[in-house]
Chains A and B, each alone.
Chain A
Amino acid sequence: MLSIEKPAGRIHDEDARSREELERDLRESEQRIAALQRDLDRIQADAGARSRLEDQARKSLETKAAVAAASAAEARARLTQYRRQAELERERREALMLRHQQSQAAIANLQSEMMRAQAERDAILASISWRTTKPFRSLVHSIPAPLRKVTHNGLKLIWWGLTFRLGTKLRQKREFQRSVLILSETPLFDADWYLRQYPDVAAAGVKPAVHYLQLGGLERRNPGPEFDAVWYTEQYPDVAAAGINPLVHYLQSGRAAGRQARPVQPRQDDGGPKEQQDPIEKEYLREVELLANSPLFDRKWYYARYPDIGAANIDPIEHYLRSGAAEGRNPGPDFDGSWYLAEYPDVAAQGHNPLLHYIEHGVAEERERRSVQPEPTLHWALQTRYGSLLPLRTFRILKTTPRLTMVTDSINARSLFGGVGTALILSALLAERMGGSLRVLTRHESADPANLRRVLSANGIEWDGPLEFVHAPPDETRGISVSEDDLFLTTSWWGTRSALGALNSECIIYLLQEDERMFYPFGDDRLRCEETLLSPKIRFVVNSQLLFEHLTTGPDALPNVRQNGAFFEPAFPESHYYPGVISRPPGSKRNFFFYARPKNERNLYWRGLEAIGAAIEDGILEPENWNFFFVGKSIRETTLPRNVNPQILQHLSWQDYAALVRNIDLGLCLMDTPHPSYPPLDLAASGAVVVTNTRGVKTSLVRYSENILVAKPSVESLRDALGEGAVLARDEQRRFANYSRNRFLRSWRSALEPTIQHLTSKRSKGH
Chain B
Amino acid sequence: MFTGLGAGSIAYNDPWQLSFEERFKSLGSGERHIAYFYEVPDTSTFRYRVFNMVEALEAAPELGISASWFSRVDLPYLERFIDRADALVICRTRFDADIDRMILRARARGMRIFFDVDDLVFDTDYIHLLLDALGQPTGNQELWDYWFAYAGRLGATLQACDGAIVTNEFLAEKVGAYAPHITPNVVPNFLNRRQQAESERLFVSKCRSGFARDGRIHIGYFSGTPSHNRDFEVAASALCAILNEDPRIVIRTAGFLEPKDFIPDHQDRLEVYPLQDFLNLQGIIGEVEVNIAPLQSNTFTNCKSELKYFEAAIAGTLTVSSPSFTLCRAIRDGENGFLSNAHEWDLKLHEAIDTVLDTRGYFGMVEKAFHEVQHLYAWNRHAPQVVSAIFGRPVDYTGGKLYDESIVRLTQ
- Using a CB–CB distance below 8 Å, which chain A residues touch chain B? 68-74, 76, 79, 83, 395-398, 400-401, 435, 437, 446-453, 463-469, 477-479, 481
Contacts and interface: CB of A to CB of B under 8 A. Distances in A.
Contact of B238 (A72, A450, A466): A450
A46 to B, nearest CB: 31
Given A73-B229, A481-B128, A467 B342 contact: yes
Given A72-B137, A73-B229, A437-B410, A463 B129 contact: no
Contact of B227 (A73, A478, A479): A73
Given A73-B227, A401-B410, A450-B238, A469 B342 contact: yes
B411 A398 contact: no
Interface residues of B, number: 41
A482 to B, nearest CB: 10
A466 B132 CA distance: 18
Interface string B209-236: 0000000000000000111010001100
Contacts of A398: 125-126, 299
A73 B137 contact: yes
A449 B343 CA distance: 4
B347 A453 contact: yes
A83 B146 CA distance: 14
A452 B136 CA distance: 27
B140 A468 contact: no
B7 to A, nearest CB: 27
A463 B132 contact: no
A73 B134 contact: yes
Interface string B121-164: 00001101101101111111011001000000000000000000
Contacts of B138: 395, 477, 479
Contacts of B298: 468, 481
Contacts of A447: 237
Contacts of A468: 296-298, 342
Contacts of A467: 297, 341-343
A79 B341 contact: no
Contacts of B256: 71
A395 B126 CA distance: 11
7 contacts: A70-B225, A79-B142, A396-B128, A450-B241, A450-B346, A452-B343, A477-B138
Given A397-B125, A437-B297, A449-B237, 19 more contacts: A72-B136, A73-B134, A397-B128, A398-B299, A400-B299, A449-B343, A450-B237, A450-B344, A451-B343, A463-B341, A464-B410, A466-B411, A467-B297, A467-B342, A469-B343, A477-B138, A479-B128, A479-B138, A481-B129
Nearest to B128: A395
Nearest to B140: A79
Interface string B307-328: 0000000000000000000000
B242 to A, nearest CB: 11
Interface SS majority for chain B: helix
Contacts of B143: 72
A414 to B, nearest CB: 15
Nearest to B150: A69
9 residue pairs, one from A and one from B, having the closest CB atoms = A449-B343, A453-B343, A452-B343, A395-B128, A466-B297, A467-B342, A73-B226, A448-B237, A450-B346
A466 B328 CA distance: 12
A731 to B, nearest CB: 44
Nearest to B143: A72
A415 to B, nearest CB: 16
Contacts of B233: 446
Contacts of A477: 137-139
Interface in B278-302: 296-299
A465 B410 CA distance: 6
A395 B133 CA distance: 12
B346 A69 contact: no
A501 to B, nearest CB: 18
A69 B146 contact: yes
A72 B140 contact: yes
Interface of B: 125-126, 128-129, 131-132, 134-140, 142-143, 146, 225-227, 229, 233-234, 237-238, 241, 256, 296-299, 341-347, 409-412
A234 to B, nearest CB: 29
Contacts of A400: 299, 412
A68 B256 CA distance: 14
Contact of B126 (A70, A397, A449, A469): A397
Interface centre among B227, B238, B341, B343 (most CB of A within 10 A): B343
A70 B255 CA distance: 12
Contacts of A72: 136-137, 140, 142-143, 146
A468 B142 CA distance: 28
A467 B341 CA distance: 7
Contacts of B347: 450, 453
A396 B126 CA distance: 9
Nearest to A465: B410
A83 B410 contact: no
A121 B36 CA distance: 60
Contacts of B137: 72-73, 76, 79, 477
Contacts of B142: 68, 72, 79, 83
B109 to A, nearest CB: 34
Interface centre among A83, A449, A465, A479 (most CB of B within 10 A): A449
Contact of B226 (A74, A395, A397, A464): A74
Nearest to A300: B141
Nearest to A468: B297
B139 A76 contact: yes
Nearest to B297: A466
Given A73-B136, A400-B299, A477-B137, A450 B345 contact: yes
A447 B410 CA distance: 23
Contacts of B136: 72-73
A33 B116 CA distance: 61
Nearest to A400: B299
Interface centre among A396, A466, A481 (most CB of B within 10 A): A466
Contact of B135 (A73, A76, A79, A437): A73
Contacts of A449: 234, 237-238, 342-345
B32 to A, nearest CB: 37
Nearest to B296: A468
Interface centre among A72, A76, A83, A435 (most CB of B within 10 A): A72
Contacts of B140: 72, 76, 79
Contacts of A79: 137, 140, 142
Contacts of A481: 128-129, 132, 298
A461 B345 CA distance: 18
Contacts of A395: 128-129, 132, 138
B410 A397 contact: no
A401 B302 CA distance: 13
A478 B134 CA distance: 12
B99 to A, nearest CB: 19
Nearest to A451: B343
Nearest to B240: A448
A72 B233 CA distance: 18
A450 B240 CA distance: 12
A83 B140 CA distance: 11
A468 B341 CA distance: 9
A89 to B, nearest CB: 15
A578 B54 CA distance: 67
A73 B346 CA distance: 28
B137 to A, nearest CB: 6
A258 B85 CA distance: 65
A76 B131 CA distance: 15
Contacts of A83: 142
Nearest to A411: B343
B357 to A, nearest CB: 21
A447 B237 CA distance: 9
A567 B142 CA distance: 50
Contacts of B234: 449, 469
A73 B225 CA distance: 10
A396 B345 CA distance: 29
Nearest to B138: A479
A532 B209 CA distance: 67
